[in-house]
Amino acid sequence: MAVEEYRERVKSEKRAAALAAAGEAFLRQGYDRTTLAQVAKAAGISTGTLFKHFPTKAALFGGIMEQLWEADPELRRPLPPAGNPVAGLTAIGHDYAGKLRQPRTAPLFRLIIAEAPRFPELGLALFQRGKAPYLDRLHAYLRSEITAGTMAVGDVPLAARQFLGMINDLIFWPTFFAADQSLNDAEVARVIDEAVLTLLGRYGRD
């Protein structure tokens, strides 16, 4: 068992090294000019080992999106039980805003926007292995509130996008285009509170 645990730890460390090296390479020189051989060398692993984890460059970028979003502890943190949508939506909103405000998020989005016309797989990786986990989590939570009778939502995916969109629009995109437009913690909290109130004003039940 100890040997198997050691092998799994080494495997995990090599995967993490590959993702770290790839992230730096993509941001420094772009998606097109980054090769798997460069990433393997920078990570200190063999090309064959890298191929075992990520057989294509698209899979490698998808791994970065997964690391950026899916692996977040926030996605594993239990939410408040259904019955108090203000508390649940506020928690989800803060988790999402925290990710949007992380230093690497905006640079990776800029890379995707710049390269997506030639490499559409980047946009696909962003959605399938990036934002989708947050949407899935929010869908499940909204359905739990519907079951509890606190919300009446006919189109759960639409309501989820409306909620995240209200947070994106004020917290992420202004900063994305102009760094001096960033909000402080109190302003972020106000944006989330207003998004919660707006969503419940449309879908909440007394």
User: Mind listing the pLDDT tens digit for each residue in 1-56?
Assistant: 576 777 788 788 899 999 999 999 998 998 989 999 999 999 999 999 999 999 99
Give the Cα separation of 120 and 203 in Å (integer).
35
142-184 confidence digits (pLDDT tens): 999 999 999 999 999 999 999 999 999 888 887 777 766 788 9
pLDDT at 76: 65
First to last CA, the chain: 54
pLDDT of 189 strictly over 90: yes
Give the Cα separation of 64 and 83 in Å (integer).
35
Q: Kindly give, in sequence order, each residue whose CB lies less than 8 Å from that of residue 65, ignoring residues fewer than 6 positions away.
A: 108, 125, 126, 129, 130
Check whether domain 2-55 has CATH 2.40.50.180, yes or no: no
- For residue 179 the two structure tokens come to 């760094």
Give the Cα separation of 104 and 27 in Å (integer).
9
Domain with CATH 1.10.10.60 in the chain: 2-55
Give the Cα separation of 37 and 105 in Å (integer).
25
Domain formed by 69-203, architecture: Orthogonal Bundle (1.10)
